[in-house]
Amino acid sequence: MLDNIEHLTPAQIVAELDKYIIGQNDAKRNVAIALRNRWRRMNAAENIKSEIVPNNILMIGATGVGKTEIARRLAKIADAPFTKVEASKFTEVGYVGRDVESMVRDLMEQSVNMVKQKKKEEVKVKAAELVEDIILDALIPPIQGRSSTPVSYASSDPNAMPDTDYELNERTREKFREKIRKGELEDRKIEIRVQQSAMPGMGGLAPGMDEASMMNIQEMISGMMPKKTKKRKVTIAEARKILLEEEASKLIDMDEVKEEAIFKAENSGVIFIDEIDKVASSSKKGGGGPDVSREGVQRDLLPIVEGSAVNTKYGIINTDHILFIAAGAFHVAKPSDLIPELQGRFPIRVELNSLTKEDFYQILKFPKNALTKQYEALLKAEDVELTFNDEALDEIASIAFEVNTEVENIGARRLHTVMSRLLNDILFDVPDKISANAHIVITRETVQEKLSGMVKNRDLSQYIL
């Protein structure tokens, strides 16, 4: 991931996406342009900046072809808050349903967490010093009622005053401070005080209340309640982790965090709306039934995508410049079945290609997070070396493609099923039957032996994710 969006040209953004996603060049180009346009807007003339709206994107393609991964990786490249929602969830009614504004609140939560983490990193050194003092106090409590300024009685006079208790205490503390810094006392147990939640959640107290109001009331009551602490006996290593988080939180200014997080969410936030085809009406006929409910969800989504103010517990968020990426398979419904107003809010349309056998081969071999590399890393933790030769990868790709063709096309997700079936015995046998320093090579013959029944068996329901 590159640090600053201003250094990323569209070509460089595509190159970053290529490290994780195979193919789908058209989709990559469009999201790269959308990301670069954000930087262009922020550097545009003040009189026009607020008028420049993002070009929201509608991705059309079957499941497992990379729609979500493209959006998620784009947000990571831009260091932007990202949230994914499923449009079909908004059709649910009752206590389990969600209102459409919750996607903006989720985005804001992500933004606050990102900014808070960044601020904590900035104060990490200062927090570590404070934690060191707390641990030292637990090991060797300071003598109370004395000045913290050390007093030196060193003198060549044989009649000089002897060391006081205070000086001896300080010397002992300094010795232990050195031991702490060298990591010599990591396993020693000490007693520390840690903060605990002042009150339980209020989830079921007011079922008629909307989500934003519930959060605001909970935040307000939580702020009024006294902070409680409890004693815990932990090792110094554990204490450092717990206390570092607490002390860093005390050092950061939450008002500054909220202000920066609001700006980040409004200007660089990405909301990915999946399964938007599920709320598209497949018929233009009037009347009741589920189509009315679907159209209602679309009309609820419209003002959010169009640009509106949403109340969150951190403040009001304007959605005018949030980038919305919607996606759907559109097997039954068509993009034109969305209401015209919502269609108009997704001017960029990208059709993603179904994955071929060659794509599967490349997905297994080249991406930074390829499944083969993940399994190699898992077994490396047991000191077992796992490698796949090219013929094996070709065979795995061939089987995954064939199963997708015969049963149901779930795209690259099929590779998870195939790889799990292929390696389950090895993963089970390590380390009991396969010892450390072993070297396992997966060949075409190994793949054929382990997976022969997967293609022959027509009842493949157990392999469908």
pLDDT tens digits, one per residue of 203-215: 554 554 555 556 6
Give the model confidence (pLDDT) of 324-349 as tens digits: 999 999 988 899 999 999 999 999 99
> Which domains can be identified in the chain, with CATH numbers?
5-118+258-351 (3.40.50.300), 124-151+161-251 (no CATH), 357-454 (1.10.8.60)
Neighbouring CB atoms inside 10 A of 401's CB total 21
Q: What is the overall mean pLDDT for the chain?
A: 84
pLDDT in tens, 87-105: 888 865 443 446 889 999 9
pLDDT at residue 149, rounded to an integer: 46
pLDDT band (50, 70, 90) for residue 465: very low
pLDDT tens by residue, 210-242: 555 566 666 666 666 666 778 888 899 888 888
pLDDT band at residue 155 using 50, 70 and 90 as cut-offs: very low
Taking alpha carbons only, the member of 363, 464, 356 closest to residue 407 is 464
The pLDDT tens digits of the residues spanning 362-412 come to 999 999 999 999 999 999 999 999 999 999 999 999 999 999 888 888 899
Q: What is the mean pLDDT of residues 257-263?
A: 95
Distances (CA, A) of 86 to 99, 132, 291: 12, 46, 17
DSSP 448: H
HSE, side-chain direction, 13 A CA sphere, residue 337: 19
Q: Which whole number is the average pLDDT over 171-186?
A: 87
Looking at per-residue pLDDT, the higher value among 183 and 446 belongs to 446
Task: For residue 311, give the H/E element and its range.
Answer: strand 309-312
Instruction: Give the model's confidence band at 151: pLDDT under 50 very low, under 70 low, under 90 confident, else very high.
Output: very low
Give Rg (Cα) of the chain: 29
The pTM of the full predicted model, rounded to 2 decimals, is 0.80
Does pLDDT of 150 surpass 50?
no
Higher pLDDT, 408 or 282: 408
- Where residue 165 falls among pLDDT bands split at 50, 70, 90? confident
